[in-house]
Structure 1
Amino acid sequence: MSSKIYTVWGGKHSGKTTFAVSLACALSKRNKLVGLISSNLTYGELQTFFGQSVPEEKGIFEALREKSPNIGERFSEYTESKNLFFLSVPTAYSGMLSETVTLEETEQLIHAASLVFDILIIDGASQINNPVSDVGLWLSDTIFTLHRPSIAAQMWYSGVSDFMQELHITEKQKHIILAPNGEFDPQTYQGRMPLPFYCELPYIKSASELENAGTPLYFASDRPCRRYGRVTEQIAGKICGGGKA
């Protein structure tokens, strides 16, 4: 494979998609051709974040059926960046097709996409029976594992520990903690989770409002979003600088 593959992972409500989208935006601004793949096989989260629709002739189910080498045609171009393309389920409901997706098809798709893009980002799923997320974790060069401090996050990480050992992905993980939102003390969480946290992402109170309006946090102009963007920029810089992210 010619491209670097990064998977964003974590428990429910850990900010995975928010970070995956922001990182993809930051990397695309560095003149890298970036492909972003969603693992949500029932609902098109990415088109909500980007404020765009995905037609039925595009999207992940068509990409999985693709036999020609031009897999990039199934990705949708983000209109605000000529270097960023995303692959999601179509905007029209197609959830019944999710049961037909296999690990073999997904591996072929990711391999094919890695020949098209400089950098491939997989927006992973919290559950461990998702073929797109599982293959992404296995093939990734680096996994960014997000933690929103809570008892639920602690239980999720404990619950997937055997899965991590089975896939041998522990060493590939970079742990990112989200700043407190007043619900849980992050120091208490870090004391219970003796992990080497790579960095901290700011808490963005307006995240849901912005994303529902089709504005990635990376492009928002208020002060908290700019802080979030700076952290994302630092990570993108390390990725593009050739060092380990």
Structure 2
Amino acid sequence: RDFADFLRQRVEANYFGAAILMPERSVVPFLQEAKAARELSVEDLADVFSVSYEMAAHRFTNVATHHLGLQLHFTKNDENGTIYKAYANDGLAFPQDEDGAIEGQRMCREWAGRHVFGAADRFSVYYQYTDTPNGTYWCLSHIDPSHERDFAITLGVRFEDSRWFRGRETTRRVKSACPDGDCCQRPPKELSDRWEGMAWPSARAHSHVLSVLPPGAFPGVDEADVYEFLDRHAAE
């Protein structure tokens, strides 16, 4: 009926797909056993159910609080720190615009989702503790390659809950004052003193920001391809 209806259907379709590929009756016992062994791992979840790392992390957030008693946060960001997806029920404070939107905001450069891109082995799971104004968090972050660009998928919990996860023994620990402090919102004073007023950068606009919503009953979908697919498989 409208764009809001389209978004609702898309969210429900994605959730349905996750429930089919990673059914709760199989996922929950698997994670409960891993928690009992203090070996919770998104990587294992992705491997066992043959899904992407991002999908495994999403599914983890679906079941962790209700079935494992864990509060947590999830982010997806690019190498520049732009947040594409975010979720939290553990008190982590995300950067927001004046309307409260998180997507499109710049992630703190000290968070795991930024540091993972500079890791020696950037395609292995990266672990980190981060001290924030709201407490200390432990995060695991993994770069999930795509045909367009690489994205960091991060799952994190409060310090006290890190004991249930593989990678808790990491010695990496950083401090972040974001989103309200001077952590990385402004350049260091010595750089500002030298370059302020001397540079005028022009940001590259992503094409999807300027494009209009594709026409059709299902935006972005070629109905001819859909109907040809259905016709080929009708006899089955």
Higher RCO, 1 vs 2 (CA within 8 Å, ≥6 residues apart): 1
- The structure that is helix-richer by fraction is 1
- TM-score w.r.t. length of structure 1: 0.27
Greater C-alpha Rg: 2
